[in-house]
Structure 1
């Protein structure tokens, strides 16, 4: 059984990040701390675990990259400083670079946001449709045929909506509130990260 407050912890941590961004007159100048960011991202990991085999690839990939950012935060204060360091070292696109890992982690945050949006707008107990749409929108464009096929097969092993809420110790009402809170807070964080990449002419589609 997961921590009874997984969704609440996620929503609150991302609300703090969104507040940091929104309080800055020029959002792009917001100095989002790497430690706070990686901590918030680590709170999303249990959700991937609860989704089972379909998102095993995402869980393993996401967790390892969040761990890298958490380690980096011991010596790097903010996201912009981290990215500028990689640009200077000419290693932005190298496998394992902090900036590349940040882009992958951002997709994990985005996938969960889209998944929650789909869950909130759908009826019924199946998560297959919401999860398939979230995967197709966020991850599929960057995955080869083999991974897409494996994920498609795994969609049949997803927990039902009721099983997911049970694993998360949530009822329908509390889950809806926290999912909506996460959606509202994750949105500005995703836009902020995209902007960091775009402003540095790094692009976000790689």
Structure 2
């Protein structure tokens, strides 16, 4: 169980659980745990300063949409399939498009941490 005062540990644990699921025989990721793990990242974006405030708000709104979708859709693949069937994948506000935006936000945070770690090793 993660410590309350260690947000990076919570994030790491949540994404480790998701990775274990992806690497299992049944790689169908449940939407609720995914959206929860993503919600833990929002404060990191907020820590980047006022210039990233809009990005944090936008990211959080997209994650909230995924969490709301998790009330009626169980997995990421089911969510994408539903949007494909509804021909709304590219429509602003669709769950699948919001998933893409969340993925991009996660990529930004990942690259930022990789760069911070690279700087640490160079010094």
With structure 1 as the length reference, what TM-score do the two structures score? 0.55
Mapped partners of 1:114, 1:30: distance in 2: 25
User: Per-residue deviation at 1:17?
Assistant: 0.2
User: Per-residue deviation at 1:4?
Assistant: 2.4
Residue of structure 1 in register with 2:88 after alignment: 91
- Higher RCO (Cα < 8 Å, 6 or more apart): 1
Residue of structure 1 in register with 2:118 after alignment: 121
Mapped partners of 1:74, 1:63: distance in 2: 17
1:51 is the counterpart of 2:48:
yes
Cα RMSD after superposing both structures: 1.5
Alignment of 1:66-105 (within 5 A): 66-105=63-102
Gaps of 5+ in 1: 124-206
1:106 is the counterpart of 2:107:
no
Residue of structure 2 in register with 1:15 after alignment: 16
Alignment of 1:1-206 (within 5 A): 4-24=5-25, 30-123=27-120
Q: Which runs of 4+ in 1 moved over 6 A?
A: none
Larger radius of gyration: 1
Gaps of 5+ in 2: none
Tell which deviates more after alignment, 95-104 or 41-50. Answer: 41-50
User: Per-residue deviation at 1:107?
Assistant: 0.7
Q: Deviations over 1:1-42 (max 9, x none)?
A: xx6211110010000000001122xxxx61100001000000
Mapped partners of 1:10, 1:52: distance in 2: 20
Q: Deviations over 1:86-118 (max 9, x none)?
A: 011111100100000000000111111111100
Q: Deviations over 1:185-206 (max 9, x none)?
A: xxxxxxxxxxxxxxxxxxxxxx
With structure 2 as the length reference, what TM-score do the two structures score? 0.91
